[in-house]
């Protein structure tokens, strides 16, 4: 094994972020970009499904696996709540649904003729796969005139939006289901609100 490879492996294993981590490209969408993405989602062949899907991913910071695992029984439309099952040993929680989310979900369900338990279905009436969601996000982003967008960017966009709104680190941590606060700190460290009032 070369010295260069050995050093690289040692740096990765020490648990410290690389020195140039702050130079990585932006991995989230701004609120305006999210608005454009959601408008583009409505205009597709399966507009109600795609719009509701992207809206919930963004507003609730859902991973793809968490999204495709959602069931109708996770919804309480009367109370306006969504039960979010977190993966990676994350904290499962009940999230409030905003008015536009409730309307999007009702538009999605009004056209459903089946009795299947999954909230989001493919064109063939089966559960969506990770690959299908990746493809849909790519196609919708292209229609919106955005660059390369992948589904996890919507989760990151949620964290950044909450941090830029000045929400508490612990609150964001619980909302996104992070066990380790270090995973949440990346959002609050880059939030513009941290630097307000410096001048």
Residues 155-180: tens digit of each pLDDT: 999 999 999 898 988 899 999 988 87
N-to-C CA span, the chain: 51
More confident site: 47 or 187: 47
Largest CA distance in the chain: 62
Calpha distance 152→67 (Å, rounded): 11
Strands (E), 81-174: 81-84, 93-96
User: Which residues contact residue 138 at a Cβ distance below 8 angstroms, ignoring those fewer than 6 apart?
Assistant: 148, 149, 150
**Other CB atoms within 10 Å distance of the CB of residue 49:** 23
What is the value of pTM for the model shown?
Answer: 0.82
- Measured CA to CA in angstroms, residue 168 lies from 94, 129, 192 at distances of 18, 34, 14
Question: In the predicted model, is pLDDT for residue 23 greater than 70?
Answer: no
Rounded mean pLDDT, 102-129:
92
Q: Is residue 43 a contact partner of residue 144, using CB atoms and an 8 Å limit?
A: no
Strands (E), the chain: 75-76, 81-84, 93-96
Rounded mean pLDDT, 88-97:
88
**Other CB atoms within 10 Å distance of the CB of residue 71:** 14
* Residue 117 burial (10 A CB sphere; 0-12, 13-18, 19+): exposed
Give me the active site residues, please.
63, 88, 152, 155, 178, 187
**How remote is the C-alpha of 196 from its chain's centroid?**
27
């Amino acid at each position: 094994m070369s010295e260069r490879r050995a050093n690289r492996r040692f740096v990765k294993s020490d648990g410290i972020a690389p020195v140039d981590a702050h130079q990585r490209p932006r991995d989230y969408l701004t609120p305006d970009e999210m608005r454009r993405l959601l408008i583009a989602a409505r205009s597709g062949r399966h507009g109600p499904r795609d719009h509701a899907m992207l809206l919930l991913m963004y507003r609730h910071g859902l991973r793809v696996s968490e999204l495709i695992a959602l069931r109708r029984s996770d919804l309480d439309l009367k109370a306006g709540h969504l039960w979010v099952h977190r993966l990676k040993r994350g904290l499962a929680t009940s999230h409030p649904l905003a008015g536009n989310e409730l309307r999007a979900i009702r538009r999605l369900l009004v056209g459903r003729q089946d009795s299947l338990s999954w909230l989001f279905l493919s064109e063939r009436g089966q559960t969506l796969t990770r690959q299908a969601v990746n493809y849909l996000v790519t196609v919708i982003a292209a229609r919106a005139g955005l660059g390369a967008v992948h589904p996890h960017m919507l989760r990151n966009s949620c964290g950044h939006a909450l941090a830029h709104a000045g929400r508490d680190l612990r609150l964001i941590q619980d909302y996104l289901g992070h066990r380790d606060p270090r995973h949440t700190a990346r959002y609050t460290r880059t939030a513009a609100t941290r630097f307000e009032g410096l001048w």
